[in-house]
Amino acid sequence: MSDARPVRDGTLLGLAVGVSGLAFGAAAVSSGLSVWQTCVLSLLAYTGASQFALAGTIAAGGSLLAGAAGAILLGSRNTLYSLRLAGLLQVKGTSRVLLAQGVTDESTALALAQPDRAAARAGFRATFISLYLTWNAATLAGAVGAGSLGSPQSFGLDVIGPAAFLALIWPRLASGRTERLVGAGGAAIAITTTPLLPPGAPIILAAAAALAGTLASRPAS
Amino acid sequence: MTGPWIAVLITCAGCYALKLAGLTIPERLLGRAWLRRFAELVPVALLAALVAVEAVAKGSALVFDPARLAGLAAAVVALLLRAPFLVVIIAAAAVAAVLRLAGVS
């Protein structure tokens, strides 16, 4: 009963966000990647920001190695997410091999928004399954149909990602002053460094706000 | 043709390894209070950064997109009104889409 809500929210989140795989598929193919390469990225890398970063670097004429390095740097936040999820979800043994692939911005945010462990697990799994299927189907559709679709912007699809993230960190922001300061700090760091750094790096740098928040909330001893 | 494949496969292997690493870090390391607090605050910082960057940036350039900002403002209003998740998302996308249809870009 208590699992119904996280499962519903996770499934809807996966469907809503996964649709942006259309944009990735189209962007990757127009950057010069083949349909196969595009689909392999969604199946195996399965972390949107990194995938967009690789396609973006290739499209902008950057080196392939720089593209891969940027994508992996951007994926490093997933380590911090899975570190957090290891404690929350208490996953053990070989199931980690499968669940690791499901660690994304969306599944982490949804799991963290739940009131208890059972709900967090249910929400994480539902988001993983729904988002993985939708993201990969949409990637294939976008890659095959690149150019024949209208701009995702005309449907407001580009606003879905940030709106979803905002909705998901909302309970965290409401939970304490430190959380709000860390959120504001992370946003400020990212915006001010965006013109100076390669795409993706400002997001990693925003982790400094979390570090500051950690030091600030440490008991004086 | 091999170059892109190598970049694709390196990216896939690296991204997966980074996800798995966090799940396999020893328990005792997680027991440290400051690390738990840090791991708790990291998604707040990074997701807030993603929201901010997706709101006002395109690549490395800061851009002013009134339709996108209005969409996010609609999301904030919906959140303040304690609207369900899906309503928040639909409100944001609908406001942006309607404004663009009306010629705001």
Q: Rounded CA gap, B14 and A45, in Å?
A: 8
Query: Could you report how far apart the first and last alpha carbons of chain A are, in Å?
Result: 44
Residue with tokens 């570190």: A83
The per-residue pLDDT for range A19-52, each reduced to its tens digit, is 888 878 877 887 788 999 999 999 999 998 788 8
CA geometry: angle at A12 spanning A7 and A18, to 5°? 120
Mean pLDDT score across all residues of chain B: 87
Using CA coordinates, name the residue in chain B closest to A178: B41
Closest CA to A138 of A112, A160, A108, A123: A160
Query: Could you report how far apart the first and last alpha carbons of chain B are, in Å?
Result: 38
pLDDT over 90 at A119, yes or no: yes
Instruction: Looking at the complex, report in whole angstroms how far the Cα of residue A66 sits from the nearest Cα belonging to chain B.
Output: 9
- Overall size of chain B counted in residues: 105
pLDDT over 60 at B33, yes or no: yes
Cβ burial, residue B64 (10 Å; 0-12/13-18/19+): exposed
What's the pLDDT band for A181 if we cut at 50, 70, 90? very high
Interface of B with A in 26-65 (CB under 8 A): 30, 34-57, 59-62
> Are the Cβ atoms of B48 and A183 closer than 8 angstroms?
yes
User: Which ipTM value was assigned to this complex?
Assistant: 0.82
- Decide if B104 touches A, using CB distance below 8 A: no
- DSSP bridge partners of A221: none
The per-residue pLDDT for range A153-170, each reduced to its tens digit, is 666 767 877 887 788 789
Identity of the residue in B35, B85, B96 whose CB atom sits nearest the CB atom of A167: B85
Asked whether A191 and B11 are in contact (CB, 8 A), the reply is: no
Position with higher pLDDT, A108 vs A69:
A108
| pLDDT given at position A152 | 56
